[in-house]
Structure 1
Amino acid sequence: MPRNVFVLGLNEANGDVLRALPGAEDITFHQLLTQDELQEGEVDVLDLLERAQAQLDAFEGPIDAIVNYWDFPATMMAPILCRRHGLPSADLLPVLRCEHKYWSRQVQSRVTNDLPAFGLLDLDAERPHLPAGVSYPVWIKPVESASSEGAYRIEDDEQLAQTLPQAQEDVLRLGRPFEALLDRLELPPEIEQVGGAAYMVEEVAHGRQMTVEGFVADGKVEAYGLVASITYPDSPSFLRYQYPAAVPQAVVDRIVAVSAQVISATGLDNSTFNIEYFWDPDTDRVRLLEVNARHSQEHARLFEMVDGVANHAAMLRLGLGQMPQPPRREGRYPMAAKWFLRHFRDGIVRQVPDPDVLAELESMLGGATIRVLAEEDTQLSDSYGEDSYSYVLAEVFVGGRDPLELEDKYQQFLDSARIEIDDVEEA
């Protein structure tokens, strides 16, 4: 009989990737709540858990797995729901140690020195200032966020004071529901005091950004891919993800070793993960940026094109109580990229490409995948899950022989697909 796998926030794009996995012909994937329910507005975790439970209770067949690839609140919900149904999953507390950025930094600092200086930010200080031992330039970010939401680069005390009112608003959307969940758990006193609606600050790390993808099963940590994250010039917003990252093997080995130490220190088990790093080629210095107790659905198509199987495969096998076996370099292309077409001001979307044009482009670009996120007659600032500096209009996945071919295919998209925006004044 087909197995039933419930996927939190399953959407069409990831559904296509999941159904293409080896063995997926024997699996029925079910959407457990929608992506909008999980991510839009100020979420209510306890209400979402009740609604998810009601949907599972109403299902008239066996439930073989409950899996997730989204940020909070889904990262918290999956372990809770799996435990209720006796299904394989990570435990909630180690997931929390990864999810709470300040708690995660405390754990990381016990096993590695490859960290930027960090501390907590006093949101209520009469004169905003950095914590002791931290120097400008810095990033301030909520201890719970998604997709860089609420993160700001700050150069001096004056900019910190100017940004703080916005930060006090930003911290609430995910911070309050995160805190509501933390209040129901027994936490270390120092983390209980911080809570979930707080901001942390850390020094800016320099160099080339990259993300290691992996999983941990039965206590064994396995890293299977390193993805480069390349930003727009003079901007922290991503221009593209590129896999595999072109870095020396010695750097890969260091990142893998640090990742294994950190994941083991968190106690995370039976879970996928991704960890973001900076590597500075000039100093050969590695800095750990962030730990996520989930893999990145953003990278799924990249692994599919290069390795032959998307990284969703590890999540699925763990959810079914099986040991993942990631392939390597068995895909159609030696490398692949996910490009982000962005607009750096708020605006009204006046025109997007016709679907027939996009379908023709995908075929012409050798099996590319193009997702236009902008919708006609909508305002960009009404979207959610964006960083603090830009709005994503479209995502373009392409494979190629080398970086030049990846760039050429993206340029063909830019030349052929018109998206028109009327800029508006921003508050």
Structure 2
Amino acid sequence: MNEHKNIFVVGLNDFNRERLETLRGAERYRFLGVIEPEAVYDTELFDIGAMLDEATARLEAFDGTIDAIVGYMDFPVSTMLPILCERFGTRSTSLESLLKCEHKYWSRRVQREVIPDHIPAFTAFDPFDDEAMTHIGEAGLYFPFFVKPIKSSGSRLGFRIDTPEDFYHAIAQLRDSIGTIADPFNTVLKHAHLPPEIAAVDGHFCMAEEIIGGWQCTVEGYVFEGEVLSYGIVDSLRYPQVLSFFHYRYPSGLPENIQATMVKLTDTIMTHIGYDNAAFNVEYFWDEVQGRIWLLEINTRISQSHCDLFEKVDGVSNQQVTIDLGLGQRPDMPRRKGEFPIAAKFFHRVFFTDAVVTRVPTDAELAELLADFPGCQIAIQVEEGQRLSSLPEQDTYSFALAHVYLGAATAEQLLADYDQLVARLTFEFDEIQG
């Protein structure tokens, strides 16, 4: 008798397979890919209808039990999972509850119903409407404000608007590019039962929001059979004077009362949404000056960037949560059973406008660093001969050359080890544009 559980992972790549095979109980699981990772990771063009058809055909043809269908990616993977899980009878939250997180306008509306003091002023607008800026003003939003699609992918097509000129510049780019996300997102919306006021705001619409900021962090958690459980808070720390992320750090250094309030807010909103039997992470700002906590956004998955951090500090990657929930069982994340009291994912960046990479660290150099810094992992993000502007998913200010994962006894030691390591991580460039 076959005792293995067949777990299908949408867009399964080598990074996830290696980590999944180290999870508790992995010897009883068989991890199978559905939809090639290149179709969801290495492109910004998503034919969701074709991908759903392909996944359905693959799963229908499978000669065995389908015990779980999971994924670790944001759009388009996250939005396909409830549709596939419903079709094949596996555990997931409903499509409507997921869209109350991912459809940014719907999400803000349901947040306003229960935690109005913790969200910014907002309104939806049509970027193809020549009177859009007038409508934004009528909704009570004034410069500066932030503009983004109601369904965004990473930080693409997000703009800070300080002047009318900024707005018209943003509108031109939105009109040109929003279809790459809007069209596939609208395919998903057709599968859902939407209230009329939400159905009227489709993927081609945008959001305008009051500017919020502060100390940024992420509450990682899940809902199992209606019970919300937040199991860790990760800080997102930026480079001085710029918006680029410097490192993610776990556990959080926020005051205990602020962390407790964020956990309570998370419980309130996830319960109100009706999200169930799935993982999430909720991003917050703590504005210390105003004494306010702002909810930035809700993501319907674990954060892959946090996997190594949870493994180092708690003893198991947070991917365990997704697998347990997919199989219909209560997750059992250990706490502080890892090798290190504190851990981080650092982004080693250059603040160029562009350049060509002429040298990357050699295998021998990397092996030496891994030996000198126990528990360290280094993921080089560039290749010799590569133009930095060709890198996908970069911010406006810099390029990430490497991701460096470290554990340490204290936050001070963590930063000191990173400084020593990165001083020996040698990259060289040509045609540098500052």
Q: Same fold (TM over 0.5)?
A: yes
Work out whether residues 151 and 387 of structure 1, in 8 Å CA contact, stay in contact via their aligned partners in 2.
no
Structure 1 residue runs of 4 or more that deviate by more than 4 Å after TM superposition: 423-426
Counterpart of 1:104 in structure 2 is: 107
Name the aligned partner's letter for residue 369 of structure 1: Q
Aligned counterpart for 1:8 among listed residues 6, 10, 21: 10
Once the two structures are TM-superposed, the CA of residue 58 in structure 1 deviates from its matched residue by 3.7
Q: 1:127 to 1:12 in 2, by over 3 A?
A: same
Work out whether residues 217 and 269 of structure 1, in 8 Å CA contact, stay in contact via their aligned partners in 2.
yes
Counterpart of 1:401 in structure 2 is: 409
Once the two structures are TM-superposed, the CA of residue 172 in structure 1 deviates from its matched residue by 2.2
SS in structure 1 at match of 2:194: coil
Once the two structures are TM-superposed, the CA of residue 264 in structure 1 deviates from its matched residue by 1.2
Give the gaps of 5 or more residues in structure 1. none
Q: 1:176 to 1:381 in 2, by over 3 A?
A: farther
Task: Return 23-32 or 49-58, whichever deviates more.
Answer: 49-58
Counterpart of 1:19 in structure 2 is: 21
Name the aligned partner's letter for residue 285 of structure 2: F
In structure 1, how many angstroms separate the alpha carbons of the residues matched to 2:152 and 2:363?
33
Task: Return 69-78 or 125-134, whichever deviates more.
Answer: 125-134
Counterpart of 1:229 in structure 2 is: 236
Q: How does 1:259-270 map to 2 (within 5 A)?
A: 259-270=266-277
Counterpart of 2:333 in structure 1 is: 326
Deviations 1:389-421 (A, max 9, x none): 433221111011112221122223321122234
Counterpart of 1:217 in structure 2 is: 224
Aligned counterpart for 1:360 among listed residues 343, 347, 368: 368
SS in structure 2 at match of 1:385: coil
Q: TM-score, normalised by structure 1?
A: 0.94
Q: 1:30 to 1:360 in 2, by over 3 A?
A: farther
| 1:42 pairs with 2:45 | yes
| 1:414 pairs with 2:418 | no
Once the two structures are TM-superposed, the CA of residue 301 in structure 1 deviates from its matched residue by 0.6
What percentage of aligned pairs have identical amino acids?
Answer: 40
Q: 1:419 to 1:176 in 2, by over 3 A?
A: farther
SS in structure 2 at match of 1:256: helix
Task: Return 120-129 or 36-45, whichever deviates more.
Answer: 120-129
Deviations 1:146-203 (A, max 9, x none): 2222212222222222232223334222122101221343311121111012221212
| 1:387 pairs with 2:395 | yes
Q: 1:189 to 1:141 in 2, by over 3 A?
A: same
Q: 1:171 to 1:183 in 2, by over 3 A?
A: same
Work out whether residues 6 and 30 of structure 1, in 8 Å CA contact, stay in contact via their aligned partners in 2.
yes
- The total of aligned residue pairs comes to 426
In structure 1, how many angstroms separate the alpha carbons of the residues matched to 2:95 and 2:168?
36
Counterpart of 1:293 in structure 2 is: 300
SS in structure 2 at match of 1:167: helix
In structure 2, how many angstroms separate the alpha carbons of the residues matched to 1:36 and 1:227?
29
Q: How does 1:27-426 map to 2 (within 5 A)?
A: 27-39=29-41, 40-112=43-115, 113-126=117-130, 129=133, 130-131=136-137, 132-344=139-351, 345-423=353-431
In structure 2, how many angstroms separate the alpha carbons of the residues matched to 1:385 and 1:87?
32
Deviations 1:50-86 (A, max 9, x none): 2222332343332221111110110111111112211
Once the two structures are TM-superposed, the CA of residue 206 in structure 1 deviates from its matched residue by 2.3
In structure 2, how many angstroms separate the alpha carbons of the residues matched to 1:339 and 1:201?
31
In structure 2, how many angstroms separate the alpha carbons of the residues matched to 1:15 and 1:159?
43
Once the two structures are TM-superposed, the CA of residue 272 in structure 1 deviates from its matched residue by 0.4
Q: 1:11 to 1:307 in 2, by over 3 A?
A: same
Name the aligned partner's letter for residue 8 of structure 2: F
In structure 2, how many angstroms separate the alpha carbons of the residues matched to 1:77 and 1:388?
29
SS in structure 2 at match of 1:110: helix
In structure 1, how many angstroms separate the alpha carbons of the residues matched to 2:307 and 2:14?
13
CA RMSD of aligned residues (A): 1.9
Once the two structures are TM-superposed, the CA of residue 386 in structure 1 deviates from its matched residue by 3.2
Deviations 1:113-153 (A, max 9, x none): 20111112442344663442223332211111222222122
Work out whether residues 32 and 55 of structure 1, in 8 Å CA contact, stay in contact via their aligned partners in 2.
yes
SS in structure 1 at match of 2:200: helix
In structure 2, how many angstroms separate the alpha carbons of the residues matched to 1:164 and 1:18?
42
Name the aligned partner's letter for residue 400 of structure 2: V
Give the gaps of 5 or more residues in structure 2. none
